[in-house]
Amino acid sequence: MSATLPPLPPAAADLLAGAGAPPRLLAHLALVHEVAERIADFCERQGLAFDREAVLFGAATHDIGKTLHPEELSVPGSLHEPAGHELLLARGVPERLARFAGTHGSWGEPGVTVEDLLVSLADKVWKDKRVRDLEDLVVRHLAAATGREPWETFLALDDLLTAVGEDAPRRLAVQAAHPVV
């Protein structure tokens, strides 16, 4: 099995290199970014207005705080979220792009944007984890943008997420082929 990674946006790759991101983290971010591209393509075809650049940058850097909290590469934790947000801001990344490091785990909080939801969705479904409440929030945005019934929108999104999930074993194997440190 090839452990070839999809490319990251150059600006994100440079930030991650500068932060000393380990191979496993780079693999995770590249794979989530790959899924975010598929989700973004789908949302554009549906007519949803959103900041594609922000979503893709956010997917590519959302876990950069794990360079400061490497224990969270192996065990659950959320210390990396505010740390990553601050790290990106300190490196000159605008708030509209840096925010995803802090919001990707708090998609249910007030004030989240559709961009936050799309990054969070990509971070879940890359490994075929389905979160109904998160998906319902995305469906609401898509249904409002298209004027379609929520159930129709859900079916279309479900088809996409099912297809993404079918490739999860490959993505998980690719990530596992990269060392944590």
pLDDT (tens digit, 9 = 90+) per residue, 37-46? 999 999 999 9
Assessment of whether the complete model's pTM goes beyond 0.85: yes
- Specify the 3-state DSSP secondary structure of 84: helix
For the record, the structure tokens of 13 come out as: 């790759």
Axis crossing angle, helix 168-176 with helix 150-166, rounded to the nearest 10: 50
- Nearest alpha-carbon partner for 113 in 60, 165, 52, 45: 52
Only one residue has tokens 């859900």, namely: 154
Q: Tell me what pLDDT residue 3 has.
A: 64
Q: Which CATH class is domain 10-176?
A: mainly alpha
- Specify the 3-state DSSP secondary structure of 79: coil
- Nearest alpha-carbon partner for 16 in 36, 32, 35: 32
- Collect the ranges in the chain with pLDDT lower than 50: 1-2
Q: Tell me what pLDDT residue 84 has.
A: 97
